[in-house]
Structure 1
């Protein structure tokens, strides 16, 4: 494990796997272990860097949090690696990747269903406050179940408990409840600019089974980014990189190499 100091003095930890050009994987609301199925598939040809988001894993934390601090953490990792990296972010990690790429030098940008809320959904989401209410009532587990139902299933699933029983992060992810509530506050405060000035070639990814509000968000990002490739994967949801790691990594590899599979 290596560490770097972010702009406000917070220590950010990151893993390093393999050798080759740098590829930074940014996890979302889950833990950095999210990328476990993906790392070996990239580490054959890339130096895979997996930062631990502030307050998660081996990284330190701070009393205050904002999207800007999260972006500063990513920039600190970018500055610490050799070469110009590719950024690949999932969910909130996708939003961090997009915002970091606006000011940092990156070779290419990949985002799978970045946590960007648009339109009517953004106005009435309130996920952070709904989570906080359950936390304040002393039921962190219910707060996390509410989050999973909304973010993984768009609020619509018949047997959430049955699904959770088969979901590898459960129940360990309950330990991240407060951390996830605060990143949702940052997500809800974020307004997507009409135009994103990002020089790096960009690949935007989504799955046909992802939550509608995130599928709307990734398309809105595409409209704000004139120069992008957009790929929709049939039959997979918001957890695409772990649900179908072979399909996702093949597409990302092709994009990095200047080819297109779909």
Structure 2
């Protein structure tokens, strides 16, 4: 484990695996271990770097948090690694990757269902406050269940408890309840610009079984970009990188390896 100091003095830890050009993996609401199935698929050709989000894992924390603070943390990691990195973010990590790439030099950008809220869903979004109300009532586990139902399943799942019994992060992820509530507050405050200026090849990924509000969000991101590739995985949900690691990794590697070639016909 290595550490770097962010702009406000907070220590940000990051894992370092393999050898080669840097590939930075940004986790969403889950822990850095989210990327465990992905790392072996890249370490032979890339230096895989996994930052621990502020307040998670081995990183330090601060009383206040914002998306800008998260971007500062990622920029500090970028400055610490050798070479210009590829950023690959999932969910909130996808939003962090997009916002970081607007101001930092990156070789390429990959985002799987970035946490961008748009339209009527954004106007009514109150996930952070509903989580916080449950936390204040001492119901941290219920707050996390509420988050998982909304974000992983779009609010619609027949047997959440049965699904959780088969979901590897459960129940350890309950330890991140307060941290996840605050990143949802940052997500709800984010306003997607009409245009996103990113000077790097961009790959946007989604699954047909992902929550509708995030599928709407990624299409809005696609529209805000002047040039991007868009790939949809049939039968895959919000947890695509871990649900279908071979399919996702294959697409990402093909994109990275061919990023200097003409953009192929869009798959959507």
User: If the length of structure 2 is used for normalisation, what is the TM-score?
Assistant: 0.97
1:141-163 Cα shifts (integer Å, max 9, x gaps) = 00000000000000000000000
Deviation at 1:4, TM superposition (A): 0.3
1:236 and 2:241 are equivalent in the alignment = no
For residues 76-155 of structure 1, the aligned pairs below 5 Å read 76-155=76-155
Q: C-alpha separation between the residues in 1 aligned to 2:6 and 2:181?
A: 22
Residue matched to 2:209: 209
Residue matched to 1:52: 52
1:47-100 Cα shifts (integer Å, max 9, x gaps) = 000000000000000001000000000000001010000000000000000000
Residue matched to 1:254: 254
SS of 2:42 mapped into structure 1: helix
1:178 and 2:178 are equivalent in the alignment = yes
Q: C-alpha separation between the residues in 2 aligned to 1:82 and 1:246?
A: 27
Q: C-alpha separation between the residues in 1 aligned to 2:213 and 2:226?
A: 21
1:98-133 Cα shifts (integer Å, max 9, x gaps) = 000000000000000000000000010100000001
Q: C-alpha separation between the residues in 2 aligned to 1:42 and 1:32?
A: 16
Structure 2's unaligned 5+ residue stretches are: none
Residue matched to 2:67: 67
1:28 and 2:31 are equivalent in the alignment = no
Q: C-alpha separation between the residues in 2 aligned to 1:190 and 1:159?
A: 31
SS of 1:64 mapped into structure 2: coil
SS of 1:204 mapped into structure 2: strand
1:199-224 Cα shifts (integer Å, max 9, x gaps) = 11100000000000000000000000
1:227 and 2:227 are equivalent in the alignment = yes
Over aligned residues, Cα RMSD in angstroms? 1.0
Q: C-alpha separation between the residues in 1 aligned to 2:115 and 2:80?
A: 26
SS of 2:251 mapped into structure 1: helix
Q: C-alpha separation between the residues in 2 aligned to 1:248 and 1:56?
A: 25
Count of paired positions: 262
What stretches of structure 1 move > 2 A for 4+ residues in a row? Answer: 259-262
SS of 1:203 mapped into structure 2: strand
1:189 and 2:186 are equivalent in the alignment = no
SS of 1:117 mapped into structure 2: coil
Deviation at 1:226, TM superposition (A): 1.6
